[in-house]
Amino acid sequence: MTNEMYLSQIGILAGRIRFREERLRRLRTEADAVYSRWGERRGVPSGDAPYVRILEEIESCGEELNRDYELLARLQEQTEETIARLPEERMRLVLLYKYLEGKSYLQIGDLLHMDKGTAKRWQIRALASMILPEDAICIPA
């Protein structure tokens, strides 16, 4: 795994978390709609009723989301420790802004009082200087 691939995992995992949060929100809305329709009939749902299936999906999605939250926290901590070992402050800041905060080179340049090309060069220099931890976390696909 390259240094850039390692750092990019945070954004990938954060995107997956946003997707799962949205899916969970939609499932809960759907469950509310099914439950209100079921309540009008006042019947007892069977084990394969739509409401029960949705509740199972909500539980599964919630478990996946919790695993992703835990993995993201561990990955962010490990990444911050890895970046902290870089020799120059600007290298550390560029990588923190780029990968942990998701800022563009233009935004990084504004924050560090440099142009976006210089921010990109600092990122390349920082990636070349960075040493991955031996137990580098790799998110599952």
Cβ density class 102-122: b for 16+ within 10 Å, e for less: ebebeebbeebebeeebbbeb
**Residue 40: per-residue pLDDT:** 52
Note the pLDDT of residue 54.
Answer: 84
One DSSP character per residue, 89-141 reads HHHHHHHIIIIIS---HHHHHHHHTS-HHHHHHHHHHHHHH----TT------
Tens-place pLDDT, residues 78-97? 999 999 999 999 999 999 99
pLDDT in tens, 95-114: 999 999 999 999 999 999 99
d(CA 94, CA 68): 25
Two tokens, residue 100? 């942990």
Domain range annotation of the chain: 3-129
State if pTM tops 0.85.
no
Measured CA to CA, the distance from residue 5 to residue 84 in angstroms comes to 18
Q: Is the confidence at residue 44, as pLDDT, over 60?
A: no
Instruction: Give, to the nearest 10 degrees, the angle between helix 50-84 and helix 3-41.
Output: 160
